[in-house]
Structure 1
Amino acid sequence: MTRFIPDRFILALLGTVVLASLLPAQGEAAVVTGWASTVALTLLFFLHGARLPLEAVLAGIRRPGLHAMIVLSTFVLFPLLGLGLHAAAPQLLPPDLWAGVLFVCMLSSTVQSSIAFTSVAGGNVPAALCAATLSNVAGVFVTPALVTLFMHRSGATGGLEEVEKVMAQLLLPFVLGSLSRPLIGAWAARNKKLVGLVDRGSILIAVYAAFGAAVVQGIWKLFAPEQLVVLLVIEGALLAVVMLTMMGASRLAGFSREDEIALVFCGSKKSLASGVPMAAVLFGAQAGVMILPLMFFHQMQLMVCAVLAKRYAAKGAEERDAATVNLSAHPKPTV
């Protein structure tokens, strides 16, 4: 049952949402919180740039087919599914929640959990590292472009002006962090716990600021409980379709079991760490509504991937045991 219990970070997020709901920042406090969120997110992307190894990006040249499928799943399949479902049944959710679902579909993949689940399942960890790195680097450019292209008509974003904000507040710190990697990369590697604490703290500050602003605007009066249940069903359907599609595509392409695992876990994830700051920059006062579907999807993907990773690992162990038994029963003849 432990795999169905939210991890500590999700519990911290829920606690932050509760705090923002009960004690939202208002007036001058809201201004200070907004500045604190901006500084924290700038630091977050600076550290992202300092930590992501350039070697992993360059290594992607060795497996172009695998990485191309992961990119297509993350930035093409997911958005097409979300847009198609919205076009087919717009009445299932209020417009604001649909906007949040579409935003989730346009985000990059995760890094840490993709690699962790690929490792647990016995998959191609170097490929997962490379794919997750490429996805996060591409997401800084691709996600704002997709949002501008497909969501500006609903008034969720201001178009190219919002892309400029992303460039200034997220991309520039990311590039500066990458350039400083020779100077601070080793320090970041030695202090993973401290860097991880800064990461999580930055996200919690951003969530508090976004949800506090949304609470002041009456976010909890906007959606009925049954609408949130429908949201969970829709996100679960999206996750299932993408995972099954990646499994089928991997086998049609003749990928190894290890590559299939990397494809399934990297191609089906959406990054909370990138999504929260991206929402804060792209959507401003609407960021709280955008983050709500993302938090639901994040916890759902962790639970589903935990179960799937253990099944992959168990199947791999069974195949190795069967191969060992077969080899013992039919030893190679000696010359």
Structure 2
Amino acid sequence: MARSRLLPDNFTLYLVVTVTLASVFPAQGGFAVALAWVTKVAVSLLFFLHGAKLSRQAIWAGLGHWRLQLAVVTTTFVLFPLLGWALAPVLRPLLTPNLYTGILFLCALPATVQSAIAFVSMARGNVPAAVCAASASTLLGVMLTPLVLGVLLTQTAAMGSPLEAMGRIGVQLLLPFIVGHLMRPLVSGFLQKRVAIMKGVDQGSILLVVYAAFSHAVIAGLWSQLPLTALMGLIGVCAVLLALVLLVTVFASRRLGFGKEDEIAIVFCGSTKSLVSGVPMANVLFTAQVAGAIVLPLMIFHQMQLMVCGVIAQRYARRANSATQAAKSPPMAQVLKP
């Protein structure tokens, strides 16, 4: 099982095929214009459906645990950006300027929802709190991601004003999300019976954005301007960043007195970054010419977090199973009693 977690999932393979397709047959001319409109509609539909899926009961169930929620928000929007900023003297020589901007963008993104909750559930952690933390992170990201980027980036010409960026994200992402959530009583039953459609919209919209972003980047000379050393350095940077955040979240959770179930929720909700939110945000925040290079760190980090967190979740689960079995076993004195 652990070995299977180290293999790429199907969606990662789809992403690789999409990037390859964009590299060989990039969208150009009228097709690129039509693709841009289709992509905007698909992304709006994606966030509408995510709003419709969000259960209000899950929100209230997790809001009461404010210390855990604060720990996740701090990790996502403070610790990650601080690491990206503090490691700049090491990162800048290893990466191209756009890749380094992509690392900062990655650090400013909200937590993933589906993967984090799945890992917490697998590890037998606090699932209601994880649902609340991941959902709240997505909503806060609409406001905080542009603001954090505005602080981190010394030159925001590619992104524009953080306030303008918040406005664009609000119209294209947050508004459909809110409308979907308000319409949840009307559409939730329909969506629950059509899980395959939801998954298709989820993955299809991301693949469309990736294809459009990499098409622009390839035409602008992405691969000719990306040395192999920078790509290898990017993989190493993502690995170090993930390892640091995992270590800090585990250590801090224990030092702050959280129980094991809460620790699991903090570790997985705090250390993961959302591809579903990140790719559309990059498409909104950055110019088409640089968006492809900027989402490349996120795509690598996404696969890395799936592999590493999958293994860690299984270790947590085995520990939980051992504790359960020990609790059910009779005391040694009774076993040895004649």
TM-score, with normalisation over the residues of structure 1?
A: 0.95
Q: Is it true that 1:107 corresponds to 2:73 in the alignment? A: no
Report deviation, 1:50: 1.1
1:225 is aligned to 2:228: yes
Indicate the residue corresponding to 2:263 in structure 1: 260
- Is residue 190 of structure 1 aligned with residue 193 of structure 2? yes
Contact preservation (8 Å) 1:152, 1:158: no
Q: What CA distance in whole angstroms lies between the structure 2 residues aligned with 1:205 and 1:133?
A: 24
1:186 shift after superposition: 2.1
Deviations 1:1-39 (A, max 9, x none): 322211001100111101111100111111011111111
CA distance in 2, matches of 1:26, 1:82: 34
Alpha carbons 1:60, 1:130 under 8 Å: kept: yes
> Within 1, Cα distance between the matches of 2:59 and 2:260?
22
* Match status 1:322 vs 2:326: yes
1:42-191 equivalent positions in 2, closer than 5 A: 42-87=44-89, 89-151=91-153, 153-159=155-161, 160-191=163-194
User: Using a 3 Å threshold, how does the CA distance of structure 1 residues 62 and 330 change in structure 2: closer, same or farther?
Assistant: farther
1:235-274 pair list within 5 angstroms: 235-274=238-277
Contact 1:99 1:156 in 2 (8 A): no
**Structure 1, residues 242-289: CA drift from partner, whole Å, max 9, x if none?**
111111111111111111111101110000000010000001312111
| Alignment correspondent of 2:202 | 199
Deviations 1:278-327 (A, max 9, x none): 000001312111111110000000000011011111122222223333x3
Q: Does the CA contact (< 8 Å) of 1:246 and 1:263 recur in 2?
A: yes
1:139 Cα deviation after fit: 1.1
Contact 1:56–1:133 under 8 Å retained in 2:
no
Q: Which residue of 2 aligns with 1:19?
A: 21
Structure 2 residue aligned with 1:296, among 300, 305, 316? 300
1:86-131 per-position Cα deviation (integer Å, ceiling 9, x unaligned): 1455222111100000100111111111111111111111111111
SS of 1:153's equivalent in the other structure is: coil
The separation in 1 between residues aligned to 2:112 and 2:333, in whole angstroms, is: 44
- How much has 1:154 moved relative to structure 2? 4.5
Shift of residue 149, structure 1, vs aligned partner: 3.1
Alignment RMSD: 1.6
Runs of 4+ in 1 over 6 A off after TM superposition: none
Q: Distance in 1 between matches of 2:91 and 2:80?
A: 17
Counterparts of 1:64 and 1:202, CA distance in 2 = 33
Match of 1:41 in 2: 43
Partner Cα distance (1:143, 1:230) in 2 = 25
Q: CA shift at 1:175, angstroms? A: 1.3
Do the aligned partners of 2:105 and 2:294 also contact (CA within 8 Å) in 1?
yes
Distance 2:321 2:59 in 1: 31
Of the candidates 284, 287, 310, which is equivalent to residue 284 of structure 1? 287
- In the superposition, the TM-score normalised over structure 2's length comes to 0.94
Gaps of 5+ in 2: none
